[in-house]
Amino acid sequence: MRIAIDTGGTFTDLIVDDGGGAPQLYKALTTPHDLPRGVFAAIEQASAGRGVTLNQLLAETELIIHGTTVTTNAVLTRSGARVGLLTTEGFRDLLNMRRGIRERQYDPRQAPPFPLVPRRRIIPVRERIDSSGREQVPLDREATSKAGRWFHDEGMESVAVAFLFSFLNPDHERTARELLSRYFPEPAISLSSDILPEVRAYERISTTVLNAYVSPLLAAYLGSLEQRLREHGFAGALLIVQSNGGVMAPEMSARFAVHTALSGPAAAPRAAAYYCDRHGRRNFITIDMGGTSFDVSMARDGAPDITVEGQIAGYRIAVPMLDIHTIGAGGGSVAWIDELGLLRVGPRSMGADPGPACYGLGGQEPTVTDADLLLGYLDVKSFWGGRMELDLTQAGQVIGEKIAGPLGVDPLHAARGIFEVVNAQMAEAISVVSVQKGYDPREFTLVVAGGAGPVHAADIAARLDIPEILIPKSASVLCAMGMLFSDLRHDFSQTYHVSIDRLDFARLNDFFAALASKAADTLAKEGIPRARIALERWLDLRYIGQFHEVRVSLPEEAVSGSTLATTVAAFHRRHEALYGYAMPEAPVELVNLRLTAIGRIDKPAFADQPDAGPDPSSAFEEKRRAFLDGSFRDVPVYDGSRLRNGNVISGPAIVLEPSTSVVVPSRYRLRADALGNYLLVAEGTDRAASPAGS
């Protein structure tokens, strides 16, 4: 038996896969001030649902995969560890100078993010490695030891070490670690040559400092969680989700905590890929509308986009991570009136405590969930599987007082305004990962995740003319579902800056061989045999004189003149796709080589339902007043648990699930597939006739 757990801003989601058919889904309120308590609340629900004790459930579990927000929240709330930075003499201010570029270049009032390491905690020491990796100035060992003692005496919890050109020669950083280990345990020391051995000093230092900033917190959380799991009978393996969509062991997670910056959201595209493949769809956009945020990512040819230019709260992270764009728009997002009298939604959220007003837990602010309830999209009695009865009166009262009154409209019109404003924001977020990168969203399937996602999906898709929407049965816990489809994954890199015409093939192949050996050793420590390891190789190429590189895949065989020519040709094509032009006659240079090591683990196998035909009448529940197609009307409501493979529903309609509602406008047709998922297709499109049950 395997369990996947995703800790979100409002709910902690849990899935149990026992190999006996459809997985069981559970949700518990997240406890921000004691995250393990929320995790165990979800486990207790699962044990109760299966009729066993918590200890019995954990004793039968061989694997737990966990996505956590510890790293992200530590950065967003600036609650990470006290960090000291040891760097090269003469470059003390490189970190806090950043790139010297404002994100909003026409906003003179924009301030840089709060420094994670104030200047007084940055100590420069005499040492120097040159740009060819040769030692020019030996490391001042006495000054390094003195710095370690000062960090210890001043109460630092971790130390980042980032010297110039250490990615070419890490000897000085490794010596510094030996000296600092007199005052700090080794896991509390982050070396830039370990975290990000790549060119570009600011990105490397920033990523290393972030790792040092969050590692102690993640290590403490995982240590506490593991101990409590063991105390309750768990003897299996615990794996943590990374930002690249893979998973890794807790020991690796604690050491390389910066790789968990998107630990939860990174898993959803993995499940989306599985479900889309069942329908023959290779290009899709995944959206995840939870209680606090709205995450969106794009996948082409079945693979989610990867970036090395990520950031959190303005802090640069250059490790490979899924290219996920996030905005503050979720079910708990607060609606408010700005100083100009305009309706706004988010980014502030009521989260899990106290939550939306309709939860009846003390929330006094109007939220998206309150608006959805007033519009008739949510069921008062069956919300959260019937464990929470929503308060329609309270929702109407807060929207009336805070939104409808100031705008001079009735609460129902105000609720519709909230619905449209948040949908417009989410449609714009989809445009960021598609239109702004030269892709037409109409050519992609929209895969919907999050408890609030299926309520808003059709309206969002209509704004972008996206004709096809796939809503998994597990939409409200899709991140947790994706964890069951994730493999162990580690990314390795090495800078080798050289023009293509001067490239040394032997040296390049030696670099890849060294990375492959390192990858095999890393996965072996996590229990993955060689036969289950797959390697993917990439080159970061650019035209000489450019600042940004384009990542291009490399064949498995040893690099030679012919394979390199093929790769360079692919670079020209990719450059044209990304930027609208290519320069085949211009000289090309290599900046970094990359290797991704994947350790395959077993995936769940779900049984298909037999085809039950198009008639959905057995799932009909009632008719309910809801706002659809521009007015309030009586809308048929169906029980999703009774819909079967092949059932077809023409809108307008609402399908109730234990943790969400699927809103089907009149221009859409819904069909249930063999896994219980829903495919919504806009009438009159080419895809309207495509089969949905394969």
Counting beta carbons within 10 angstroms of the beta carbon of residue 656, is it exposed (0 to 12), middle (13 to 18) or buried (19 or more)? buried
The letter for the amino acid at 650 is S
3-state secondary structure of 662: strand
Output the pLDDT for position 26.
87
| Range from 372-386, 414-428, 671-685 that averages highest in pLDDT | 414-428
Output the pLDDT for position 306.
85
- In CATH terms, 2-74+219-260 corresponds, of 3.30.450.20, 3.40.190.10, 3.90.105.20, 3.30.420.40, to 3.30.420.40
Q: How confident is the model at residue 692 (pLDDT cuts 50, 70, 90)?
A: very low
Identify the helix (H) or strand (E) that includes residue 67.
strand 63-67
The domain ranges of the chain are 2-74+219-260, 79-212, 488-599
Lowest mean pLDDT among 82-86, 281-285, 546-550, 646-650: 546-550
Please check whether residue 492 is in contact with residue 595, taking contact to mean a CB–CB distance below 8 angstroms. yes
Please check whether residue 594 is in contact with residue 551, taking contact to mean a CB–CB distance below 8 angstroms. yes
DSSP 470-525: EE-TTGGGHHHHHHHT--EEEEEEEEEEEEGGG--HHHHHHHHHHHHHHHHHHHHH
Please name the residues in contact with 662: beta carbons below 8 A apart, sequence gap of 6 or more: 454, 455, 457, 471, 640, 654, 655, 670, 678, 680
3-state secondary structure of 621: strand
Output the pLDDT for position 385.
67
Token couple for 572: 């020209």
> What is the rounded distance in angstroms from the CA atom of residue 242 to the CA atom of residue 638?
37
Token couple for 161: 């070490």
Total residues found in the chain within this entry: 694
Please check whether residue 324 is in contact with residue 262, taking contact to mean a CB–CB distance below 8 angstroms. yes
Token couple for 248: 């890794």
Q: How many CB atoms are located within 10 Å of the residue 667 CB?
A: 17
Output the pLDDT for position 687.
54
pLDDT tens, position by position, 238-278: 999 999 888 999 999 999 999 998 887 888 898 999 999 98
pLDDT tens, position by position, 111-158: 778 889 999 999 999 999 999 899 999 999 999 999 999 999 999 999
> What is the rounded distance in angstroms from the CA atom of residue 6 to the CA atom of residue 12?
6
Q: How many CB atoms are located within 10 Å of the residue 560 CB?
A: 11
Strands 247-248 and 237-241: antiparallel
Three-state secondary structure of 504-517: CHHHHHHHHHHHHH
| φ/ψ (deg, to 5) at 317 | -125, 120
Q: What percent of the chain has pLDDT over 70?
A: 97
Helix 411-433 to helix 453-463 angle, to the nearest 10 degrees?
70
Whether the predicted pLDDT of 578 surpasses 90: no
Output the pLDDT for position 690.
42
Q: Is 110 left (phi over 0), alpha (psi -120 to 50) or beta?
A: beta
Please check whether residue 298 is in contact with residue 305, taking contact to mean a CB–CB distance below 8 angstroms. yes
Long-range contacts of 21-24 (CB under 8 A, 24+ apart): 21/606, 21/607, 22/473, 22/606, 22/607, 22/676, 23/474, 23/481, 23/484, 23/604, 23/606, 24/49, 24/50
Bridge partners (DSSP) listed for residue 297: 286
The letter for the amino acid at 628 is L
Exposure string over 94-119, b if 16+ CB within 10 A, otherwise e: bbbebeeeeeeeeeeeeeebeebbee
The letter for the amino acid at 206 is S
Whether the predicted pLDDT of 656 surpasses 90: yes
pLDDT tens, position by position, 413-443: 999 999 999 999 999 999 998 988 888 999 9
> What is the rounded distance in angstroms from the CA atom of residue 616 to the CA atom of residue 674?
15
Question: Which DSSP letter does residue 316 get?
Answer: E
Fold of 488-599: Dna Ligase; domain 1 (3.30.1490)
- Maximum alpha-carbon separation in the chain: 80
Q: What percent of the chain has pLDDT over 90?
A: 64
pLDDT tens, position by position, 166-184: 999 999 999 999 999 999 9
Output the pLDDT for position 688.
42
Please check whether residue 147 is in contact with residue 162, taking contact to mean a CB–CB distance below 8 angstroms. no
Whether the predicted pLDDT of 10 surpasses 80: no
Please check whether residue 3 is in contact with residue 64, taking contact to mean a CB–CB distance below 8 angstroms. yes
**Sign of the C-alpha dihedral, residues 120, 125, 126, 130?**
negative
The letter for the amino acid at 265 is P
DSSP 544-577: TT-SS-EEEEE-SSPP-HHHHHHHHHHHHHHHHH
Q: How many CB atoms are located within 10 Å of the residue 645 CB?
A: 19
The letter for the amino acid at 474 is S
Whether the predicted pLDDT of 521 surpasses 70: yes
Bridge partners (DSSP) listed for residue 634: 625
Please check whether residue 341 is in contact with residue 408, taking contact to mean a CB–CB distance below 8 angstroms. no
Strands 83-88 and 122-125: parallel
Question: Which DSSP letter does residue 193 get?
Answer: H
The letter for the amino acid at 22 is A
Question: Which DSSP letter does residue 125 get?
Answer: E
| φ/ψ (deg, to 5) at 80 | -75, -170
Whether the predicted pLDDT of 686 surpasses 70: no
> What is the rounded distance in angstroms from the CA atom of residue 575 to the CA atom of residue 370?
46
What does pLDDT average to over the chain? Answer: 90
Which residue blocks in 300-391 are alpha helix, DSSP H? 368-374
> What is the rounded distance in angstroms from the CA atom of residue 519 to the CA atom of residue 51?
42
Q: How confident is the model at residue 39 (pLDDT cuts 50, 70, 90)?
A: very high
Whether the predicted pLDDT of 485 surpasses 60: yes
Report the alpha-carbon angle 421-424-429, nearest 5.
130
pLDDT tens, position by position, 62-98: 999 999 888 888 887 788 999 999 999 999 999 988 8
CA-derived radius of gyration, the chain: 26
Question: Is the link from the previous residue into 354 a cis peptide, with omega within 30 of 0?
Answer: yes
**Sign of the C-alpha dihedral, residues 498, 504, 509, 513?**
negative
> What is the rounded distance in angstroms from the CA atom of residue 451 to the CA atom of residue 398?
22
Fold of 79-212: Rossmann fold (3.40.50)
